[in-house]
Amino acid sequence: MSGYDEAYRRSIGRPDEFWSEAAQGISWDVAPATVTAGGRWFPDGRLNTCFNAVDRHVAAGRGDQAALIHDSPVTGAARTYTYAELLDQVARTAGLLRDLGVTAGDTVVIYMPMVPEAVVAMLACARLGAVHSVVFGGFAARELAVRIDHARPKVVLSASCGIEPSRVVAYKPLLDAALEQAEHRPARCVVLQRPQAVAELDEGRDLDWARAVRDAEPAGCVSVAATDPLYILYTSGTTGLPKGVVRDNGGHAVALHWSMSHVYGAAPGEVYWAASDVGWVVGHSYIVYGPLLAGCTSVLYEGKPVGTPDPGAFWRVVSTYGVRTLFTAPTAIRAIKKEDPSGIFAKKWDLSGLRYLFLAGERLDPDTYHWASDLLGIPVIDHWWQTETGWPIAANCVGIEPLPLKPGSPTKPVPGWDVRILGPDGEECPPGVDGAVTVKLPLPPGALPTLYRDEARFTRSYLERYPGHYLTGDGGHVDADGYLYVMGRIDDVINVAGHRLSTGAMEEVIAAHPDVAECAVIGVADELKGQLPVGFVVLKAGAERDPAEIERELTALVRERIGPVAAFRRAVVVGRLPKTRSGKILRATMRDIADGNPYTTPSTIEDPAALPEIEEAVKRT
């Protein structure tokens, strides 16, 4: 039996034994005698997540090791923080929060850009046992107000501005407007002043971050129950009442610490870079907590994959800091590929130290996989997980046993995740047959135990449809070798004249065309067939052929590979696709546009100007 097979079977068949061993990688104030009870992990254990992420490494004599590297091409600055320096900043910031009345169980909203203080703020909350809720910096005032009302923070931690490649975004006016709209009133706001846009502070409510932290006495770690919440993270694209994913302290620490070595193959002291944002789950799990729990050096990057200043930005960071493991979204690699299809910018840098490229967030189409694999000459590993799960559901676990890669598949379920493909009748689907991707309960440590202040919605959203299973919301299948294929959200399956077809499968065909940089296929309402697929396509830089000719080729390609049953008759070339700041394509909004339905511009959108382009493209169809 292989190493992976043995680990997986033990995790499913003897979970208490498996996770009890994993829990030994964490420092406990009270070691748990019970591994799991009632779906909660380590219920009688006590610990502090900040201690595990920072203090224990300093106590072990590794205070001089780099903990955090902040690289900011948008400001032209870079700085490295050792574990000892990070501890000092975190303890002082925790002291400031303590002096403002924050205690264990209180909530704190963090509304900040990609600066070291954002990481410090998260860890300072964890140090006190307070619950942080990070709201993506630059979110509209209304969206911030909704989250403030739902989380009810005692304090808001913010900054004067964020910096985009072409503009400075003032945060303080957005924060002020949000606080005017919100019913809940936090006692204080602490504002980090950045020189690019200094904010006016409201006397009596606002404090200057640097001065307040400098004057604070350091605070120690507060012991909390393993089942106490560490943070709330509102899922991106939320409309109406926010869906606040809760993460607990104990299961989260155990799962993330285990995943760093077993999934990602990362060792203490190595440089690990998740090129994401602290406002998303990837930033929580693999910029902040995962690497620091494992004693790695984490990169915090304030820039873009292209345009800051060129498509070699990622490769510069990898080379400069000796990154061993890079984790980003397929969208980022597609953006680099679009601007530098020949990989010229990558060849300017020494990438010999890079061992793995992990990708998640969108389906990794085979063309992008092959491009990155050929360019870098290292394993390019698709893996799949969600805000709700907090860490990977399926991956090639290189720290256990690297398995053969199959383009289009995130490989096999990670130990702990009992993945099942279920049909509409709740029965398990045979290999090769698409169904709903679910996880048989109980969920492993680190997954959400509930939604913040909404247990009924948690049950309704995830547990009701298939009793005894967690519904991921994604559809897919497993093959005869047990490899998982996630084809997209269940609502991305369209019904064409009674035939259920995956838009993900069509996207895979289109993305294989040599002139295509990225694409999205959506189902458009049709009186005769119910729905018809339409493809929206962005071409690679340098693709100078007639777009109409490419559109005809793509239509023929889908009909050839999927079949006439797909009724795929139109591909439209556009300049860009509308995306969230985390790189997800806004397919639901595109569907509303195509069907002529009213829509609101999502708060998570990266570039609102992309939507009028889709409107124009729809008219051409």
Mean pLDDT by 10 residues, the chain (621 residues): 90 98 98 95 98 98 98 97 98 98 98 98 98 89 90 98 92 95 96 97 96 97 98 69 91 98 98 95 97 98 95 98 96 92 97 97 85 97 96 98 94 98 95 96 98 94 96 94 88 66 83 91 80 90 87 88 78 90 82 86 82 84 71
In a domain, 451, yes or no: yes
Give yes or no: residues 228 and 263 share one domain.
yes
Model pTM? 0.86
- Return the residue matching tokens 């600055």: 77
Give yes or no: residues 404 and 544 share one domain.
no
Question: How far is residue 362's CA from residue 379's CA, in Å, rounded to a whole number?
Answer: 18
Question: How far is residue 92's CA from residue 98's CA, in Å, rounded to a whole number?
Answer: 10
Give yes or no: residues 405 and 510 share one domain.
no
Which pair of tokens denotes residue 425? 């009748």
Domain residues for the domain of 39 are 3-303+383-476
Give yes or no: residues 36 and 160 share one domain.
yes
Sign of CA dihedral 48, 51, 52, 53: positive
- 8-state DSSP, 402: P
Kindly list the distances between the CA atom of residue 241 and the CA atoms of 183, 235, 454, in Å, as whole numbers in the listed order: 14, 11, 10
**Alpha-carbon 34 to chain mean position:** 31
Give yes or no: residues 118 and 154 share one domain.
yes
Identify the CA nearest to 122 among candidates 134, 135, 114: 134
Question: How far is residue 448's CA from residue 128's CA, in Å, rounded to a whole number?
Answer: 21
Domain boundary among the residues 446, 476, 506 is at 476
Give yes or no: residues 162 and 229 share one domain.
yes
Which pair of tokens denotes residue 44? 């009688």
Give yes or no: residues 118 and 56 share one domain.
yes
Which pair of tokens denotes residue 278? 């602290």
Kindly list the distances between the CA atom of residue 589 and the CA atoms of 70, 136, 518, 539, 585, in Å, as whole numbers in the listed order: 34, 20, 17, 21, 9
3-state secondary structure of 456: helix
Question: How far is residue 44's CA from residue 37's CA, in Å, rounded to a whole number?
Answer: 10
Give the CATH number for residue 249: 3.40.50.12780
Give yes or no: residues 86 and 232 share one domain.
yes
Question: How far is residue 438's CA from residue 472's CA, in Å, rounded to a whole number?
Answer: 6
Q: Buried (b) or exposed (e) across 173-194, using 16+ Cβ within 10 A? A: ebbbebbeebeeebebbbbbbb
Identify the CA nearest to 228 among candidates 47, 28, 26: 47
Contact present, 231 and 280 (Cβ < 8 Å): no
In a domain, 316, yes or no: no
3-state secondary structure of 179: helix
Question: How far is residue 397's CA from residue 385's CA, in Å, rounded to a whole number?
Answer: 14
The DSSP element (H or E) to which 59 belongs, if any, is helix 56-59
Give the CATH number for residue 559: 3.30.300.30
Identify the CA nearest to 567 among candidates 506, 509, 496: 496
In a domain, 522, yes or no: yes
Strand partners, 485: 477
Q: Buried (b) or exposed (e) across 134-147, using 16+ Cβ within 10 A? A: bbbbbbbbebbbbb
Question: How far is residue 324's CA from residue 398's CA, in Å, rounded to a whole number?
Answer: 13
In 10 A of CB 12, how many CB atoms?
16
In a domain, 338, yes or no: no
Give yes or no: residues 46 and 138 share one domain.
yes
Which pair of tokens denotes residue 594? 């195509």
Question: How far is residue 29's CA from residue 51's CA, in Å, rounded to a whole number?
Answer: 10
In a domain, 435, yes or no: yes
Give yes or no: residues 139 and 269 share one domain.
yes
Which pair of tokens denotes residue 58? 């300093």
- 8-state DSSP, 595: T
Question: How far is residue 113's CA from residue 36's CA, in Å, rounded to a whole number?
Answer: 37
Question: How far is residue 287's CA from residue 71's CA, in Å, rounded to a whole number?
Answer: 13
Question: How far is residue 588's CA from residue 569's CA, in Å, rounded to a whole number?
Answer: 20
Residue 498 confidence (pLDDT)? 57
Nearest-10 Cα torsion for 492, 495, 500, 503: -30
Give yes or no: residues 156 and 258 share one domain.
yes
Residue 240 confidence (pLDDT)? 53
Give yes or no: residues 43 and 175 share one domain.
yes
Residues 6+ apart with CB under 8 A from 582: 236, 276, 277, 280, 282, 329, 361, 604
Residues 6+ apart with CB under 8 A from 35: 15, 16, 19, 20, 23, 41, 42
Q: Buried (b) or exposed (e) across 315-339, using 16+ Cβ within 10 A? A: bbbbbebebbbbbbbbbbbbbbbbb
Question: How far is residue 306's CA from residue 181's CA, in Å, rounded to a whole number?
Answer: 36
In a domain, 192, yes or no: yes
In a domain, 515, yes or no: yes
The number of folded domains in the chain is 2
| Side-chain-facing half-sphere of 591: CA atoms under 13 Å | 18
| Rama region for 488: left / alpha / beta (φ>0; ψ in -120 to 50; rest) | left
In a domain, 346, yes or no: no
Residue 591 confidence (pLDDT)? 87
